[in-house]
Amino acid sequence: MQLPEKVKIVEVGPRDGLQNEATPVPVEVKLALIRKLEEAGLPVIEAGSFVSPRWVPQMASSAEVFRAIDPKPGVSYPMLVPNRKGLDAALETGVKEIAIFAAASESFTQKNINCSIGESIARYSDVMQGAEQAGVKVRGYVSCVLGCPYEGEIAADRVAEVAGRLHDMGCYEISLGDTVGVGTPLKAQRMIDAVSQVVPVAQLAAHFHDTYGQALANLFAVLQQGVSVIDSSVSGLGGCPYARGASGNVATEDVLYMLNGLGIETGIDMDRLLQAGQYISEHLQRQPASKVARALTAKA
Ligand code: HMG
Ligand code: MG
């Protein structure tokens, strides 16, 4: 069996993890979480988004959060951007990396960003041009790659088409989102087979939510195809406001435990990661969704 020697974990907790929280999380708490994630060794920490505060109120403090980050060398702090207005806000804030987010489902695109897939691609080419001029790196997301909360099944070639457009536009990495967490391993592999026809597998990331408890199995399946970037959220926080019933991302602790067991290098310290998870779980007054966090904490 072929597995990558190293995996890069992209921590999306401060953005994807918190965006759906109904009670505002104070800026100091977001910053303390980001600091603890840096201490744990996460190389990429998605810190927030420049979206409409009416649509996603929890992310309204993103500029304030970003400005207060004391960037750790070697760590990047991408911010989500849906349009030119978001890019302008990001540039004004001094952001060095953004993520644009499209989807393989028309209905989800409408609910999430209020336009069609075609319109979103046109908007993003404009964002891409502005980002290139400013020397800002751009990551691309495709949502609903293994199913849509409104349309159900999504064909792998539709995912490949949208992923290919974002890649052609200049995104350095394409993150494939199982937004609702409905996928299963063979389906995940077939989707990667289709997408890797148009985007090299080294530029793909797996962004799997764990609603049906399949995320680790799906990740193990796509690791065998050469995917070596995994998005996850500390403590398994989160969910998308436009994907009703979807639970959090796969927990970073669970991913790390699996990768450690497979002998795959990540550079992440489990004890420190557990501390980050405990911190935010205590703040939210919630048990971590991560089974590994619960098991290791109980043992300690
Ligand atoms: P719209 O209503 O069509 O936008 O929303 P508009 O251009 O007509 O503007 C309406 C108002 O929004 C105006 O303000 C604009 O200024 C303002 P008003 O005049 O009414 O006061 N506005 C903005 N404000 C701040 N920042 C901006 C911005 N743009 C317009 N960038 C829009 C379109 C895209 C803005 C809206 O639909 C939106 O913000 N959606 C947020 C979507 C979102 O954040 N979703 C969650 C993230 S995606 C996700 O979680 C999936 C992912 O994790 C991968 C996976 O799991 O699959 C990435
Ligand atoms: Mg997500």
Structure confidence by residue, pLDDT tens digits, 115-129:
999 999 999 999 999
Cα 41 to ligand 1 centre (Å): 31
Average pLDDT, the chain: 97
Pairing of strands 44-45, 79-80: unpaired
Burial of residue 263 (CB within 10 Å: 0-12, 13-18, 19+) is: exposed
Residue 250 to residue 83: CA distance in whole angstroms: 27
Domain of residue 123, CATH code: 3.20.20.70
What is the DSSP-derived secondary structure letter of residue 283? H
Ligand 1 centre and the CA of 52: distance in Å? 4
Taking the centre of ligand 2 as the mean of its atom positions, its distance from the CA of residue 182, in whole angstroms, is 13
Q: Which domain range does residue 229 map to?
A: 8-299
pTM above 0.95, yes or no: yes
Decide if 2 is inside a domain: no
Among residues of the chain, what percentage have pLDDT more than 90? 95
In this structure, the number of other CB atoms found within 10 A of the CB of residue 53 comes to 12
Q: Is 249 in the pocket of ligand 1 (CB under 6 A)?
A: no
Q: Is residue 210 in a domain?
A: yes
With cut-offs at 50, 70 and 90, classify the pLDDT of residue 241: confident
114 lines ligand 1 (CB under 6 A): yes
Q: Decide if 202 is inside a domain.
A: yes
Residue 240 has pLDDT above 80, yes or no: no
Measured distance CA(210)–CA(143) in Å, rounded? 14
Q: Where does the pLDDT of residue 207 fall: very low under 50, low under 70, confident under 90, or very high at 90 and above?
A: very high
Ligand 1 near 177 CB (within 6 A): yes
Is residue 157 predicted with pLDDT exceeding 90? yes
Say how many C-beta atoms besides its own lie within 10 A of residue 221's C-beta.
Answer: 21
Residues 23-79: pLDDT tens digits? 999 999 999 999 999 999 999 999 999 999 999 999 999 999 999 999 999 999 999
Ligand 1, atom 15, residue with closest C-alpha: 52
In a domain, 3, yes or no: no
Q: List the alpha helices (DSSP H) in the chain.
A: 27-40, 62-68, 84-93, 106-113, 117-134, 156-169, 185-195, 215-223, 252-261, 270-284, 291-299
Q: Is residue 1 part of a domain?
A: no
Which of 20, 52, 208, 240 to mutate to test ligand 1, by most ligand atoms within 8 A of the CB atom? 52
Q: At what angle do helices 252-261 and 291-299 cross, to 10 degrees?
A: 80
Q: Is 240 labeled as catalytic in the residue annotation?
A: yes
Number of domains in the chain: 1
**Biggest alpha carbon–alpha carbon distance for the chain:** 52
Mean local confidence (pLDDT), 129-155: 97
